[in-house]
Structure 1
Amino acid sequence: QLAKEQHIRSENYAIFNILSNGEIECSNSLEDECDTEIPGQALIYRPARQHIYSVLLESAKGGAYPLVKEWFVYFGNPLQQPELIQPVQPFVPGGIPNLKTLWFAKGPDVEKQRYSTFLACFYLQDEMEELQALEAPVAAFCCLLTYLMMQVSSLSLEDLNAFVAVVLCLKGKSAAQLAALQLAQVDSRAVHLGAVFVRGITTLLMANSACGFPFRMDDLMPWEVFDGKLFQEKYQQSHRGCSSE
């Protein structure tokens, strides 16, 4: 009932459909099918989604979870039928709390459980102390970028520097300054990476909803940590060998 109410108020992402129908869908992204070094975002974030599914869905007595039907667009998937995805339990010290605890319980211990469960969805449960020391939007950005570096082996140091430069420079830019940015050209790989990153933010939102909101949803909005045009500029500067400073 709570998931339904939050869904109606647009306060959670994808949770109600998973709980009520065991189903989730995602439309196409700006991805270059010819760039085989970067997997489709649907595949990049599947391990994280499998963890999120296990947080949401109770396992049977034998330990098996119900399968989740995924309708995700990516190159090579004809979408004639859903893919049946097995939830995978993430490693959380002390075990995953049940939804009743994550969603309704109060107190500092539960807040810590929410945060650690969220991090475990992205294989970052051991980085809790370091991430909690950061501002919430920056901590979420670091979660996503670290996960991407683990999942996409073709990401380079130049790519990493470009993402970091965006989050560091974004606060000093007004909307008018961002709108006035001029680019001599647009790099298709940067567009692809930007689309993958923004889709990752939706995965953060889904994990946050599932784990009882360890972050304020406002702190996970794309404009807090990313701008496509600014990323193009920093990506091109980084790949030209400009100083990261």
Structure 2
Amino acid sequence: MAAVSYLPIKPLIIWMSISGSLFAVDKDNSRILLPEIEGWASPKGEGFASELLDAVVKLQSLQVSLSYFPLKRVLLYFKQDPLSCFFGGDLKTLAAIDDFFKKTPLLESDPFLVTHYYAYTLAAQPKISSLDQLAGKAIGTLRGNDFIATKSGPKARRITYYNSTTALINSLKKGRIEVVIHPFPNKKSLTGDLNVDRSFSLWAIRERLLCRDTDNNRALIESFNVGLKKVKAQKIYQRVYDKNFMQ
């Protein structure tokens, strides 16, 4: 069994609102939590998820509030806040690692992307093209990607969870880990000096908008699905995809 280690994070202070939600927000609005990951989402509105969601929100005139946190915190807050939504999740994958996602009534949108998790090594190292090649390796991934251990864990020597993509890549380049498992966009700016076999995908995740079961969130899911069809029909989706995932 692989050893698992976590880099330290600062303690959190979580304020409870009178409504019982983790966040003091208008009950008439839905709160959407986004994992802050380079190329995926950021408070500046950059990344595929941020830009796609912004396009749908504008087309549908959705009343939502957006909050960005590291992936691990997004999952924590989503579980603790009964009014929240999580942008970018696969219920089947999450249910495999956490009983909360099996037992809690949740709503899910149509899928908006299939995300592939690949194994990256330094350019001087061989590409990872099978699970057997992960045997005895020190693996790094983002905090919150606990499902990585269900497939690669039994073979890996150690799995370390990092708080950011930058820390993950720096650790690989400094030799602290040997393999990074991550869904990097296919852009040279991020992966140009890394080795990867894109024919070997460890995980394929059908990303959706997941929400706690409330009347507001039911309406949000319905409107999001309509908006998703619109952005695809108007070729907005393709522009956002090409900008973030193609070189």
Normalized against structure 1, the TM-score is what? Answer: 0.26
Q: Which has the higher contact order (CA 8 A, sep 6+)?
A: 2
Normalized against structure 2, the TM-score is what? Answer: 0.26
The structure that is strand-richer by fraction is 2
